[in-house]
Amino acid sequence: MTATDASAAPIDGSTVTPLLDIKNLQVGFQTQRGMVTAVDGVSITLMPGETLAIVGESGSGKSTTAHAIINLLPGSGRITGGEILFEGRNIAALDEKQMEEIRGRKIGFVPQDPMSNLNPVWSVGFQVEEAIRANGIATGKQDVKKRAIQVLTEAGLSDADKRLKQFPHQFSGGMRQRVLIGMGLSSNPKLLIADEPTSALDVTVQRRILDHLEKLTRDSGTALVFITHDLGLAAERAEQLVVMYKGKVVESGPSREILQNPIHPYTQRLVAAAPSLASRRIESASKPLDGLGYEATRVTEGVDLIAAAESRVEGHAAATDVSAAIAVKDLTKVYKIRGGKGAASTLKAVDGVSFEIQRGTTMALVGESGSGKSTVAKLLLRLEDATSGEIRIDGTDTAPLKGKSLLALRRKMQPVFQDPYGSLDPLRNIGNTIAEPLSVFKVGDSKSRRARVNELLDQVALPKSLVTRYPNELSGGQRQRVAIARALALKPEIVVLDEAVSALDVLVQAQILQLLTDLQSELDLTYLFITHDLAVVRVIADNVSVMKSGRIVEAATTDEVFGNPREEYTKELLDAIPGANIPLGV
C-alpha cells in the first residue's frame, strides 16, 4: 500500500524520482522482554513539492516513522528493516556524520511540543543562528543575524529583530512554534517533517500557523510530511493521506477520497469520531437530501457522535423542568500581579460575566487560552473567591457559604479536569480514588461504598477488575473515565468539565463525549463544559458562550452560534475548526 497508487503519475508523463520513498520500514524498540515492533512494514512515497499527512492515534507509530526518517529515534529505538530512499539514496544506512549533512540542510523538522523543544537557557536568536551557521547557509556574524531575522519574519514572528535576544520563556506557545517552523525551514530543505506542529495550540493560532506553513512550503516548493491525530486537519492540509494503526499503514491515497469513502474499518471509525468532521456531519445530516450518502459511511462499530447528539436533543425535549441550576451575574475576578519593582498591577481575568444554565442542560464556555474560562470554573466551584458579582446555585448565593454549607455545595457540584494524568493520586488505587468523596462525606459504610464504586465503574463502562489497579496502569481514556466516576460518586447535580476531553485521542474523546451525553440523560445532570475546541461543542452543548479577554462576547444556542455567528471572533473560531471547510460527500 503506497500513496503512489492513485496520484504520483507526473503530469508531463516523464518518470520523476520520488523525493522520499520509504520501503517496508521496520522500527523496533529494545525492551526487557525483547524487541517490540513499533513500525511494521510501512511504505510511503512522496513526490517533490507534495504534501502528505500521516494520521493515527497515539501509539500508532506515526511519530516513530517521522523520527526514523531523520534517524533520531528515542532511546533504544532502531531501524530493523526496510529502506528510506531520499533522492534515491538510502539514508537509513548512513552513519552519524553523513546524517548530520542531511538533517537541517536537506530535511527540516518541526517538532510537536513548542514548550519543550527550545532550550530554555539560550536566547531564541542564538538557537536560530546556530542552525543557520551549522548548515553553512550564511557565514559572518551580520549575515547570519540577517538570515535569522529573515527566517523568523517569514515564519510570521513580528519584530523578529528585537526578539532575537529574548528567551523562549518570554514567548507564547504560538510564537515558539513559529520559531521552530522558522528553524525547520531556515536552510531551505527539500523536505519538511512537521510532527503535530500545532496540537498544543489554540484553534485560531493553529489555523494561522498552518496557513503560513502551507504558504511557505508552496512558495519554496518544499515537500511536507505532516503528522497529526486529527483527520479533519489532515484532510484539509494534505493532498495525500496515510492512515496508520498499530505500526501499520492501513489505508493511503488522496485525502478527499479517503475521507469520503474510507475502506478500512479503522479509518471508518476515525472518520466517524473526528469531532471536527462530526459537527459538520450533523449539519449535513439535518438536510434530508444528504441522508443517503451519510448512511453509506455510517459505522456500526465504535462510537457514533451523531446519534449521541440526537439523543441529547430528544432528551431535552422531554425535560420540562427549566429552572436555572446555575445563575451567574456580573462575575468579576481581578488578580494582583507583582510588578518588576514592587509596583503591583492588576489583571481582570473575568470581567462582568453573566450566564444561566438550566437544569439538565449543557452550556459550553468557549475561548482561547487566557480568555478567563478556567477562572470562571474556579470561581463557580468556589476554589477561588470572586472579586465582585454573584453566583447562585439553585437560587442560593454561594459567596457567604462556609464550613458545613460550603461542603454541602461542593457535594452538589463536582469537577472533572483536563489532565487525566495529573488529577488522579498515583498512590491510590482506582477503587479508593472513586470512593474518596464518599468517605469524605461519610456516605454509607464500607460495604455500601464498595457497591457504589462498582455501580459507578459500570456507569462509566469500566471493568470492575480495575478497582485494585493504580492510575499508571490505565490509559488516558480510562483515567478520564475514573475522574468522571469520582465526580459522579456523590450524585451531584452539576458537573464542571474543564477541558475534560482535550487531552484525549479522537476515538477516546468520542467515547467520553458519548458517555457524558448518556449520563446526562440518565441522571439529569447539568454540565458546564469548558473547552477551546469548538468542534466538540457541537456534539455536547445546548448553549454556547464565547469568551474573549474575560468577557462573554456571544451567547446563544449551539445551533445559532454555528449557523449564524454574530461576532467576528466567533466566526474566526468557527473557521479555525480544521476540516470545517472540506466539502464532505455526506
Q: Is residue 31 close enough to count as binding other proteins by CB under 8 A?
A: no
Q: Of the listed pieces 46-54, 66-74, 78-86, 445-453, which binds other proteins according to CB under 8 A?
A: 66-74
Q: Is residue 310 close enough to count as binding other proteins by CB under 8 A?
A: no
Q: How far is the CB of 120 from other proteins (least distance, A)?
A: 6
Q: Is residue 103 close enough to count as binding other proteins by CB under 8 A?
A: yes
Q: Is residue 105 close enough to count as binding other proteins by CB under 8 A?
A: yes
Look at residues 386, 363, 348, 391 and name the one whose alpha carbon lies nearest to residue 530: 363
Q: Of the listed pieces 104-112, 284-292, 321-329, 410-418, which binds other proteins according to CB under 8 A?
A: 104-112
Point out which residues pair with 191 in neighbouring strands.
107, 223
Which sign, positive or negative, has the C-alpha torsion 470, 475, 476, 481? negative
Instruction: Please pick, from the candidates 87, 130, 560, 572, the single residue that binds other proteins as defined by CB under 8 A.
Output: 130
Instruction: Please pick, from the candidates 89, 122, 291, 491, the single residue that binds other proteins as defined by CB under 8 A.
Output: 122
> Contact 39/62 with Cβ under 8 angstroms?
no
Q: Is residue 100 close enough to count as binding other proteins by CB under 8 A?
A: yes
> Contact 231/277 with Cβ under 8 angstroms?
yes
Determine the distance from the C-alpha atom of residue 222 to the mean position of all C-alpha atoms in its chain, rounded to a whole number: 26
> Contact 466/475 with Cβ under 8 angstroms?
no
Look at residues 56, 39, 38, 63 and name the one whose alpha carbon lies nearest to residue 506: 56
Cα distances (angstroms) measured from residue 5 to each of 119, 241, 242, 253, 492 = 42, 12, 12, 7, 55
Number of residues that bind other proteins (CB under 8 A): 38
Q: How far is the CB of 121 from other proteins (least distance, A)?
A: 6
Q: Please identify, using beta-carbon distances, which residue of 169 and 566 lies nearer to other proteins.
A: 169
Q: Compute the distance between CA of residue 38 and CA of residue 201 in angstroms, rounded to an integer.
A: 27
Q: What are 544's three cell numbers?
A: 454556547
Please list, residue by residue across 327-366, b when 16 or more beta carbons sit within 10 angstroms of its beta carbon and e when fewer do: bbeebbbeeeeeeeeeeeeeeebbbebebbbbbbbbbbbb
Instruction: List the interface residues with other proteins, window 331-360 (CB under 8 A).
Output: 341
Cα distances (angstroms) measured from residue 130 to each of 72, 322, 563 = 19, 63, 49
Q: Of the listed pieces 47-55, 126-134, 502-510, 553-561, which binds other proteins according to CB under 8 A?
A: 126-134
Which residues make Cβ contacts (< 8 Å) with residue 413, sequence separation at least 6?
380, 381, 393, 492, 493, 494, 495, 496
Q: Of the listed pieces 40-48, 98-106, 351-359, 447-455, which binds other proteins according to CB under 8 A?
A: 98-106
> Contact 36/45 with Cβ under 8 angstroms?
no
Q: Is residue 312 close enough to count as binding other proteins by CB under 8 A?
A: no
Q: Of the listed pieces 22-30, 33-41, 111-119, 367-375, which binds other proteins according to CB under 8 A?
A: 111-119
Burial (Cβ within 10 Å: 0-12, 13-18, ≥19) of residue 502: middle
Q: Is residue 96 close enough to count as binding other proteins by CB under 8 A?
A: yes
Q: Please identify, using beta-carbon distances, which residue of 213 and 483 lies nearer to other proteins.
A: 213
Look at residues 42, 98, 28, 51 and name the one whose alpha carbon lies nearest to residue 70: 98
Q: Is residue 187 close enough to count as binding other proteins by CB under 8 A?
A: yes
Q: Of the listed pieces 114-122, 420-428, 449-457, 516-524, which binds other proteins according to CB under 8 A?
A: 114-122
Q: How far is the CB of 112 from other proteins (least distance, A)?
A: 8
Q: Please identify, using beta-carbon distances, which residue of 125 and 477 lies nearer to other proteins.
A: 125
Instruction: List the interface residues with other proteins, window 141-170 (CB under 8 A).
Output: 167, 169-170
Q: What are 396's three cell numbers?
A: 442560593
Determine the distance from the C-alpha atom of residue 311 to the mean position of all C-alpha atoms in its chain, rounded to a whole number: 25
Instruction: Please pick, from the candidates 4, 43, 65, 135, the single residue that binds other proteins as defined by CB under 8 A.
Output: 135
Q: Please identify, using beta-carbon distances, which residue of 170 and 581 lies nearer to other proteins.
A: 170
H or E element at residue 352: strand 344-358
Q: Please identify, using beta-carbon distances, which residue of 107 and 534 lies nearer to other proteins.
A: 107
Q: What are 529's three cell numbers?
A: 463544559
Q: Is residue 134 close enough to count as binding other proteins by CB under 8 A?
A: yes
Query: What DSSP character marks residue 105?
Result: T
Q: Is residue 138 close enough to count as binding other proteins by CB under 8 A?
A: no
Q: How far is the CB of 168 from other proteins (least distance, A)?
A: 9
Instruction: List the interface residues with other proteins, window 442-501 (CB under 8 A).
Output: none
Q: Is residue 317 close enough to count as binding other proteins by CB under 8 A?
A: no
Q: Please identify, using beta-carbon distances, which residue of 122 and 335 lies nearer to other proteins.
A: 122
Q: Please identify, using beta-carbon distances, which residue of 2 and 135 lies nearer to other proteins.
A: 135
Q: Is residue 104 close enough to count as binding other proteins by CB under 8 A?
A: yes
Look at residues 93, 115, 111 and name the one whose alpha carbon lies nearest to residue 102: 93
Please list, residue by residue across 267-290, b when 16 or more beta carbons sit within 10 angstroms of its beta carbon and e when fewer do: bbbbbbbbbbbbbbbbbbbeeeeb
Q: How far is the CB of 134 from other proteins (least distance, A)?
A: 5
Q: Please identify, using beta-carbon distances, which residue of 105 and 481 lies nearer to other proteins.
A: 105
Q: Of the listed pieces 184-192, 402-410, 518-526, 528-536, which binds other proteins according to CB under 8 A?
A: 184-192
Residues that bind other proteins (CB under 8 A): 67, 70, 72, 74-75, 96, 100-105, 108-109, 111-113, 116-123, 130-131, 134-135, 167, 169-170, 180, 183-184, 186-187, 341
